Amino acid sequence: MMSKKPIYSIVLILILFLNCSEGSRTYHDNEYGFSFDYPSDWKVANESIHHQVLIYEPVKDTVNQVATNISVVVKSNHDIPLNIRAELIEQEWDDSNQYKNFEILEKRDGIFQNEKAVYYKCQANVEDFPVMWRKVILIIDDSFYDISMTTTKNKFDEKNLVFNDFLNSFSLDYSKN
């Protein structure tokens, strides 16, 4: 008689696969050679100031017009080392009048896509809304990648799961860089 464990395992794998494939879309950036998955009900916007891809959830809070967004900004790096690039970002935060009570909650060095990266978790008030964000910065060849999520403080734990899924799906085609 066949054990029920293999059957349950197969059913569980199929359920997980169907749930994952139903709830997300994949974005491919041909210019810079990256791709990522994002929730199927979110929107995508491209801006060309540097190279930015912004995905954002539909606004559900019609009173405060608050939505979560995830962005990928790609800039030419001009041979600036990662630690100096991180200091420049921190200086931008310090110089900005946009943030009240700005605070870096966590900063750590790590690895992302097999490259050295700096990870941030920050909070501030933006127009009296308590906002939190996570940011991953890395340099590949001569391109600087700034990947971040911004959301309200009360949604951070929930949206952080979405951002983790996003980061896990993020893929670079090094031949494009």
CA distance 50 to 31: 12
Instruction: Tell me the mean pLDDT in the region 59-82.
Output: 79
**Which H or E element spans position 136?**
strand 129-140
Higher pLDDT, 174 or 169: 169
Domain residue limits, the chain: 4-172
Q: What is the pTM of this model?
A: 0.78
Structure tokens at 128: 């009296």
Report the first-to-last Cα separation within the chain, whole angstroms: 55
Structure tokens at 122: 């920050």
SS3 content of the chain, % helix, strand, coil (to 5): 30, 45, 25
Burial of 94 (0-12, 13-18, 19+ CB in 10 A): exposed
Poorest-confidence range of 15-24, 110-119, 160-169? Answer: 15-24
Question: pLDDT averaged over the chain?
Answer: 81
CA distance 50 to 133: 21
Q: Would the pLDDT of 11 be above 50?
A: no
CA distance 134 to 163: 9
CA distance 87 to 64: 33
4-172 has which fold?
Protein Transport Mog1p; Chain A (3.40.1000)
Instruction: Tell me the mean pLDDT in the region 66-93.
Output: 86
Q: Would the pLDDT of 61 be above 80?
A: no
CA distance 172 to 32: 8
